Amino acid sequence: MQILRGRRVLIGIGGGIAAYKVCEVVSTLFKAGAKVRAILTEASQEFITPLTVTTLSRHPAYTDEGFWQPIHDRPVHIELGEWAEVFVIAPLTANTLGKLAHGLADNLLTNTVLASECPILLAPAMNTQMWEQLSVQRNWQQLLSEQRYHSVGPGAGLLACDRVGSGRMAEPAEILAAVESLLHTGGKQDLVGKRVLISTGGTREYLDPVRFIGNPSTGKMGLALAQAAMHRGANVTLVHAPATWEVPEGVRAIPVVSAAQMQQAMLGCFPDADLIVMAAAVADIKPAEYATEKLPKKLLPTSLPLEPVPDIVAELGQRKQPHQRLIGFAAQTGDIVKPALQKLKEKKLDAIAANPIDQPDAGFGSDTNQAIFLDNQGRQVEISPCSKLQLAHHLLDFINAL
């Protein structure tokens, strides 16, 4: 999360039990090198204390009690509003939501919102019945119609009231990813109205119900691409092989296992997509025969007959329409550029990301990555090691320039 180093993030904490989750957000931001300031509403202090947030951010927390105590001889809300690069409000309560939707300011948090111009990230949290009230939804939609407001969540699950439903605040990892995206984009929504189709993960080709040919791909790069595209306003569909992570709220997920299943899903979604990114590590071969029951060890073949699997990206390249952009990935060892250029040409791609899997903290399973982007116009851009989410944004920037 190198992009966070030295960046200025303001956290507004509302009154709800989900406030305890914000402590992890504050702590993680500080550990990543960000400069963190926090405002606690009066209600939020029923759940966490200013001392807790002060300790985690290494900076005194701000409350309504200090409203008229200036910073550098300037009003607190003016100084904080102008200081922030990104303003996170979490949990966003129905009360604060109503105030923001109507431009009201009766505490330090809401005054600071009106005194700021930076992107604001909203993470709602409330009881399902409260969240689904027409008045709350009207306020929510009115607020999101303003360009500077961005949302993360709410999700669905077990709430503090023991009800299962929507209204659960986004998890800290989702909030942090959205902050990282906003710091990269400055809040621009350059993919609004675009339909983005992404494949990710390592497919599995089974010999019997328990044995398969596969690869170490975890699908984290495709997940990062889905997050980045969604944060930039796209309508995202993610076709993913078996994974241990959860698909973010707002992304349509199609789980698959084999290359044949991925082919079927991709071909089904392809005609409606504007941008297609093939980040999946699709198997090249599969066992020629499948046993419906587990083979005893003594019956395992000493020589395994194999056959090729469908070349999904090549098939999409043949079907691509003029308005569509098809992007591939080439995971390589050694020289990564030459085979990527060959794949770019042979598969009729618009661009390709060549990434080394023999470098530390890059490729399969890691949280970071590096790559060289190439397109069919001869451009070549090298991206140094960074988080996979940041690499995803760099790739979307590269694609936008096609």
Burial of 387 (0-12, 13-18, 19+ CB in 10 A): buried
- How many whole angstroms separate alpha carbon 243 and alpha carbon 30? 29
The count of other CB atoms within 10 Å of the CB of residue 87 is 29
Report the C-alpha gap between 268 and 88 in whole angstroms: 38
β-sheet bridge partners, residue 11 = 38, 88
Is 198 within 8 Å of 237 (Cβ atoms)? yes
Q: Kindly give, in sequence order, each residue whose CB lies less than 8 Å from that of residue 151, ignoring residues fewer than 6 positions away.
A: 121, 122, 123, 124, 144
Rounded Cα–Cα distance for residues 18 and 331 (Å): 40
Nearest to 227 by CA among 186, 191, 270: 191
Place of tokens 């060289």: 372
Q: How far is CA 156 from CA 160, 218, 226, 366, in A?
A: 12, 25, 19, 28
How far apart CA 136 and CA 153 sit, in angstroms, is 15
Q: List 387's β-bridge partners, or say none.
A: 368
E-strand stretches of 234-316 = 235-240, 252-255, 275-278, 285-287, 306-308
- Which are the catalytic amino acids? 161
Identify any residues that bridge with 62 across adjacent strands, giving them in sequence order. Answer: 39
Question: Distance (Å, rounded) from C-alpha 159 to C-alpha 165?
Answer: 7
In this structure, the number of other CB atoms found within 10 A of the CB of residue 130 comes to: 15
CA separation for the pair 121, 144 (Å, rounded): 10
Q: What is the CA radius of gyration of the chain?
A: 24
Helix (H) or strand (E) holding 109: helix 108-114
